[in-house]
Amino acid sequence: MSQVEPRVLVNRHSGERLTLRRVKRDGEIWLEVIGTTPPKQPGPPMHVHLAEIEDVNVGRGILSAIVDGKQITLARASQRSFPPASRIAGGTGTTNRWSSRVTLVLL
């Protein structure tokens, strides 16, 4: 796999930044998403990964979210996996840096 520069998406309204890159893990190509959200700004809207497992690692701050209708809060250095078909929405909270990895399906 050739090295490709990561792509950075910035939401000019909320300040959320998403860095996307391809990584090789266990012989598979994965899409890695690393995001940051400024203090007191909403996270991503409700979304569902129909077939993917979403692994979340909180690198800094606190990540609050609503998962399947329940409020959760993850502290720095916390990890959590969400099974396929989980309904996930970002909450508001302190500055957070999180990474999420989902399988990249190439068609």
pLDDT value at position 103? 47
Any idea which fold 7-103 has?
Answer: Jelly Rolls (2.60.120)
pLDDT value at position 62? 79
Please provide the distance, in angstroms rounded to a whole number, between the alpha carbons at the two ends of the chain: 17
Lowest mean pLDDT across 12-21, 72-81, 97-106:
97-106
For residue 23, give both structure tokens: 């990584």
pTM beyond 0.85: no
Element (H, E) at 101: strand 96-103
Contact 55, 79 (CB under 8 A): yes
